[in-house]
Amino acid sequence: MTTRTARQRQNDDYIQIDNLHFRYRDRTVFRGIDMRIPRGGITAIMGPSGSGKTSLLRLIAGQLKPGAGTVRVGGTDIHRLSRSALFRERRKMGFLFQSGALFTDLSVYENVAFPLRAHTRLPDTMIRDLVLMKLEAVGLRGARHLMPATLSGGMARRVALARAIVLDPELILYDEPFAGQDPISTGMLAALIKRLNDTLNLTSIIISHDVPETASIARHAYVLADGQVAGQGPIQEILESRAPEVRQFVKGLPDGPVPFHYPAPDYRDDLDLGETC
Amino acid sequence: MLNAIALLGRYGLNRLATLGRAGVLFVAALWGRPTLRPGLSLLVRQLFNAGVLSLVIIVMSGLFVGMVLALQGYTVLVRFGAVEALGQAVSLSLVRELGPVVAALLFAGRAGSAMTAEIGLMKATEQLVAMDMIGVDAVRRVVRPRLLAGIITMPLLAQIFNAVAIGGAVLVGVKWLGVDSNAFWVNMRESLSFGEDILNGIIKSLVFGVIVSWIAVFQGYDSEPTSRGIGEATTRTVVYSSLAVLGMDFLLTAMMFGVD
């Protein structure tokens, strides 16, 4: 009975991260974190700048290697795969970059068609239908002939989203999808992420600073601080958490466990005021 | 003192690591079976970028270099009453040395810097990572066609440079200064050996093509993803390529035409 329950729980978790340690140059980013990302929902990963949110996303995607620990995606230890096996595994993932990362020498249409042309031998007519369906889903079917340089930030992110879902992935990783967007674009993107996740039955991970917008669509959340998981659970519990690191982030308090000031020598010494004042 | 030695050691290790990364990139770019789709179309596009778009500067420079060579050669040869040897002097200088070297330096400035800037900008705007995330090998897709295009176009550009330069020399030497046309061409044909001169010139330009393209793609791929980083990488491409071409030219010349 116990074994069956454990296996069932394992199946419900699409991503399992155990004892993850990671260093970037001289800085320790993660000190043995454990996470479970449930299948089929939207999970938010929040935390102050520099808490390693983007590094975590890249560790999940196998772009960075951990110092220790394991990251299992759909049951596969992503860091034990060969390069070609990792590339095959990534076809099940979509990644939305903060910048959009559209290929600047390709039109909107060709950007969305890129993964299809790279991984399938579908005829052009079928590629055309698939691309137009995905562009329709993000509301940009009419912009198919535009070049990335002529798109607004919000449009570029929607095109990147269409490209991320064109291979019908099981998992989508969103890196700061709302950063630098106006309120209309933010609301539009949030609704789009929610709709795509529900209709395509995806597992989504969103990294974001935007607490209200993320809370409106995410089911679970993790808050990272100081190389560790400071809080986790259903989004409502996170919003009401009394843990100091979580509370500071969620309420947007300027000072707290994450100090306002970067470590510096004594202010008076720095101004050469010495003992005279 | 110890600190200075430690710094020197660290600098040496960093250089060695950079060389290692460059080697890995070169092998990774050329490793694996080439594909018709989309490999060929990507290569054709890069052949256009590196070759066709460099034609104007190669042709214009070749013309002027040939004209100057003829003018300088004439002023020396006329003192010895040997102006008929102008064709021989010009063609040997061009085919053996100036053609491959000047074309390579121009190629580094025109196409090499463009390759570095393009790859560096793709890196800075996360396009290379995005490709990787889509499951497409960015080295094979972006680096390989540029590297191959450089290696293929360099010898062709050098031969075009030579041909135009000889045309420039004819304009100045024969048409303007009145050197006998027959003597000019006959001397040129008799002094040039295909095996020793023309083939060695082609081998030189092939080696320069590998060096310049390799430096260019590596500097772009290894650049710091900032505007300053890309600027520095582009400068390094031109400086390193120029020095490497000139140094390698000496080595190749010593090997090919060395004094017995």
Tell me the pLDDT tens digit for each residue of A60-116.
999 899 988 999 998 889 999 988 888 888 888 888 888 889 999 899 999 999 999
Cβ–Cβ gap A61/B133 under 8 Å: yes
> What contacts A66, CB < 8 A, 6 or more positions away?
A20, A21, A22, A30, A59, A79
Cβ–Cβ gap A102/B127 under 8 Å: yes
Q: Is residue B230 part of a domain?
A: yes
pLDDT(A9) > 70: no
Q: What's at B160, amino acid-wise?
A: I
Confidence of residue A1 (pLDDT cuts 50, 70, 90): very low
Q: What tens digit of pLDDT does each residue of B208-250 get?
A: 999 999 999 999 999 999 999 999 999 999 999 999 999 999 9
Rounded-to-10 torsion of CA B93, B95, B100, B103: 80
Of A91, A101, A119, the CB nearest to B127: A101
* Number of domains chain B is built from: 1
Question: Which tokens go with B120?
Answer: 């560096």
Collect all residues of chain A within an 8 Å Cβ-Cβ radius of residue B123: none
Kindly write down the DSSP assignment for every residue of B208-259, as one continuous string: HHHHHHHHHHHHHHTS-SSHHHHHHHHHHHHHHHHHHHHHHHHHHHHHHH--
Phi-psi region of A62 (alpha: psi -120 to 50; beta: other; left: phi over 0): left
Q: Order across the sheet with A68-73: list the strands.
A: A27-38, A13-24, A68-73, A76-77
- Is the pTM here over 0.90, yes or no? no
Q: What's at B216, amino acid-wise?
A: A
Q: Is residue B70 part of a domain?
A: yes
Rounded distance, CA B119 to CA B233, Å? 10
Collect all residues of chain B within an 8 Å Cβ-Cβ radius of residue A99: 125-126
- What is the ipTM, given to two decimal places? 0.79
SS3 A242: coil
Rounded distance, CA A249 to CA A232, Å? 13
Cβ–Cβ gap A118/B134 under 8 Å: yes
Domain ranges within chain A, ordered by starting residue:
11-92+169-270
Q: Is residue B259 part of a domain?
A: no
Domain A11-92+169-270 has CATH 3.30.43.10: no
Cβ–Cβ gap A97/B134 under 8 Å: no
**Parallel, antiparallel, or unpaired: how do β-strands A203-207 and A68-73 relate?**
unpaired
Q: Order across the sheet with A171-175: list the strands.
A: A93-96, A171-175, A203-207, A42-46, A220-225, A228-234
SS3 B205: helix
pLDDT(A129) > 90: yes
Q: What tens digit of pLDDT does each residue of A11-68 get?
A: 678 899 999 999 888 888 888 889 898 888 899 898 877 788 888 999 999 989 998 8
- The residue ranges of chain B whose pLDDT is under 50 are none
User: Measuring CA to CA, which residue among A101, A108, A103 is closest to residue A146?
Assistant: A108
Full residue range of the structural domain in which residue B70 is found: 2-254
Residue B233: predicted pLDDT:
95
pLDDT(A3) > 60: no
